[in-house]
Each structure stands twice: as C-alpha cells, then as structure tokens.
Amino acid sequence: MFALAVAATPGMAPGIVGLFMESGWMGKVVMAILLCFSIISWAMILLKFQYLRKAEKESVAFLKVFRKTRNTEELLSSANQMKFSPVATLFLEGHKELEAITKSLPDGKAVDADRALIVEEIERSLQITTQDEISYMERYLAFLGTTGTVGPLLGLFGTVWGIMDAFYGIGLKGSGDIGALAPGLAEALINTTGGLFVAIPAVIAYNYFSEKIKDMATRMDSFSIEFMSFVSRTYLRK
C-alpha cells in the first residue's frame, strides 16, 4: 500500500525507482553496497556453475574410458585432454607418482618388500591431490556464504535507519502525513527488498555448489580405490 502511495506522489518516479530516489543518503549507500555484492555474487555463480558442469561432464567421460580400457597410453591421452576433470587430474598425479617410484627402484621392478611402501606413497599422493582439487573447486564459495549472511543484515540496517529517519521526519514536521513518512519508509522498504534480493540467490547457489562439490569429492575417493586396484594389477604384480 505504501509503495503505491509513494509511486503516486507527485514528482516521484513510480515503483522501485521512486522508492530509491525518495530514500535518504544512507539508504542509497546501503543499496550501492548491496548492488556490488549482487554483481560479484552473480558473476561467481555463473562461472562456478559452468566450471562444475564441465568438471562433472569430463569426469563421467574419463571414468567411462578408464573402466573400458587398461591401456596406459590411451588413459594418459584421455586424461590430458580433460582439463576440467578432477578425476582425470587425480589419475595423472597418481601415475606421475607411480612412475617416479618405479624409476627409483632397482631395475624398475617392485619386490614384495617394497609393495606396501609403494601403495602407501601413491595413496598419500592421491589424498593430497584430492584435497587440492576440492580446495580449488571451493574457491570463492565462501563469498557466496558471506553474501547470504551479510545481505539481509545490510538490508536490516537500512530498514532500521529508514524507520529512524521516518520518525525524525515526523518530529521535524510535527505530523505523520505522507510527506514526513515517505523518505524514511521508502529507505526501509527498498533496503529490505535489496537485502533479500541479494541474499536468496547466494544462499541457493552456495547450497547447490556445496552438494555438487561433495558429490565430486565422493567420486574422487571412489576413483582412488579403483586407481589403486589398477596399479596393483598393472604394475605391482609384474
């Protein structure tokens, strides 16, 4: 109701623009901050969505190749082509560690006494790579969580300031007509709306990406087991 009344006030632009123009300087500052948060968070949402979609697609494709063949050269070629896949990166790092260990062995062959140590070293390399990939996928995710938390608080701050401004206007004019209330209440309404507009997409995206990254981490853990089985069959039994 108040938004309609404000929109109908002579000399004011209608709707959201009218509310923004009628708000005080603090309301405009809060809205500017919220706008910055919104632009950055939406940019991160789009970039993160594209990256995780490519990572998932390439990981599924590499797993199909890995489970179809045991040809090391073919697997290396496939993994090198899939730059976004953390599973492919895991294979490359694991294979690199295996080659380094094999070259350090006499005649390049593992004896029974060495196998437990080799397995331990490769597993450690896979764990480190997994953690690095998860950390990379979680980059900038904290900003979305911060935006989802700070957005409503900034909106609430602007709302409280606007209500204070409205009461101050009443005190100055000695009346509660629309002219006294409009600036403060416009500031309160626009800040509340802005805070929610910024926070809701950020929270949804944060939860969605967190689940996607958790699924990817589980897939990497499962692949580590498959890779160790591949190493045992292909190398350590020779």
- pLDDT confidence band for 189 (50 / 70 / 90): confident
In which residue are the tokens 């480190």 written?
A: 128
Tell me the average pLDDT across 29-52: 91
Q: At what angle do helices 141-173 and 25-68 cross, to 10 degrees?
A: 160
> Going by C-beta distance under 8 Å and a sequence separation of 6 or more, which residues neighbour residue 156?
191, 192, 195
- The contacts found for 133-140 with CB under 8 angstroms, 24 or more apart, are 133/86, 133/89, 133/90, 133/220, 134/86, 134/213, 134/216, 134/217, 134/220, 136/86, 137/51, 137/52, 137/55, 137/86, 137/213, 137/216, 138/213, 140/44, 140/48
Full DSSP string of 19-63: HHHHS-HHHHHHHHHHHHHHHHHHHHHHHHHHHHHHHHHHHHHHH
Question: What mean pLDDT is reported for the chain?
Answer: 80
Query: Whole-structure pTM over 0.85, yes or no?
Result: no
Tell me the average pLDDT across 100-108: 73
From residue 210, give the alpha-carbon distance in Å to each of 67, 151, 200. 27, 19, 16
Q: Which two tokens stand for residue 140?
A: 């900038």
H/E segment holding residue 117: helix 112-137
Q: Is the pLDDT of residue 132 over 80?
A: yes
Q: How far apart are CA 149 and CA 145, in angstroms?
A: 6
Measured CA angle at 165 (ends 162, 168), to 5 deg? 155
- pLDDT confidence band for 9 (50 / 70 / 90): very low
Tell me the average pLDDT across 202-219: 94
End-to-end CA distance of the chain: 81
User: φ, ψ for residue 216 (rounded to 5)?
Assistant: -65, -40
Radius of gyration of the chain (CA): 29
Which pLDDT tens digit goes with each residue over 106-130? 665 666 666 778 788 889 999 999 9
Tell me the average pLDDT across 226-230: 88
Which pLDDT tens digit goes with each residue over 153-184? 888 887 777 777 767 666 666 655 555 565 66
Q: How far apart are CA 162 and CA 169, in angstroms?
A: 10
Task: Identify the CA nearest to 131 among candidates 227, 222, 229, 220.
Answer: 220
